[in-house]
Amino acid sequence: MARKRRSSTEAEAAALASGIRLRIIRLTSFEAMTNKELAERLGRDPATTLHHVRRLVDTGFLVPQEPRRGTRGAKEIPYLSTGLSWELSNESGTAAVAVGEAMFEAYLAEMAETTQAEVDTSRLVVQVPAEVVEEFKGRLADLLDEFQRRPRDLAADRTAIYVSVYPSR
């Protein structure tokens, strides 16, 4: 059964309403990365990336790790995702729309970095009552929660999953 997620605060929802910040959360989910590493990976300016990193730290989505010395001896702070984004709900209102748009933006940016051969895509259109759609969404949420709780296998490849349920008009 899917665990109950708490509603995000206004600050948390605002932090999640950015495709670049969602990508930073994903990139730091399994390994800590410095601002410089994030900027390089995202093809962004380090100062802009630092703005996003600080916003994520301030709202509890990233936590700084022990500082380390970079290749030129400069102090670098790696950041790691706290997993908070998975615990939150943005189900209604303008926050839901903004976060949903950011999720789609992040998805498109990540898809642009892959080849079609690397993507397993399925599409299905059904015509069932609303309560059946809600049952499907609940079962899907349970499945995603189950896989999210599994122990990490550091030797395995990372896999991203994006699911969207929408009206077929």
Q: Quick one: which of 168, 157, 75, 169 has its CA closest to 123?
A: 168
pLDDT of 95: 83
Give yes or no for residue 131 having a pLDDT over 90: yes
In degrees, rounded to 5, the angle at the alpha carbon of residue 155 between the alpha carbons of residues 152 and 156 is: 70
In tens, the pLDDT along 38-47 reads: 999 999 999 9
The burial of 131, by beta-carbon neighbours within 10 Å (0-12 exposed, 13-18 middle, 19 or more buried), is given as: exposed
Annotate 18-51 with three-state secondary structure.
Answer: CHHHHHHHHHCCCCCEEHHHHHHHHCCCHHHHHH
The mean pLDDT value of the chain amounts to 92
**Residue 96's pLDDT is what?**
86
**How much is the pLDDT for 2?**
54
Note the pLDDT of residue 89. Answer: 85
Domains within the chain, CATH numbers bracketed: 6-115 (1.10.10.10)
21, 122, 143, 164 from 161: Cα distances, Å: 17, 12, 12, 10
* Residue 1, pLDDT score: 53
CA-based nearest residue to 85, from 58, 52, 111, 59: 59
Contact yes or no for 90/15 (Cβ under 8 A): no
Tokens of 99: 């976060």
CA distance 26 to 76: 20
Tens of pLDDT, residue by residue over 25-71, are: 999 999 999 999 999 999 999 999 999 999 999 999 999 999 998 77
Radius of gyration of the chain (CA): 18
Report yes or no: 106 and 23 within 8 Å, Cβ to Cβ.
Answer: yes
Half-sphere exposure of 166 (CA within 13 A, CB side): 7
Q: Which residue has the higher pLDDT, 151 or 92?
A: 151
pLDDT of res. 11: 93
What digits encode the pLDDT tens for the residues 83-116? Answer: 999 999 877 778 889 999 999 999 999 999 999 9
- pLDDT score for 65: 97
For 56, residues 6+ apart whose C-beta sits below 8 A from its C-beta are 15, 21, 24, 25, 62, 79
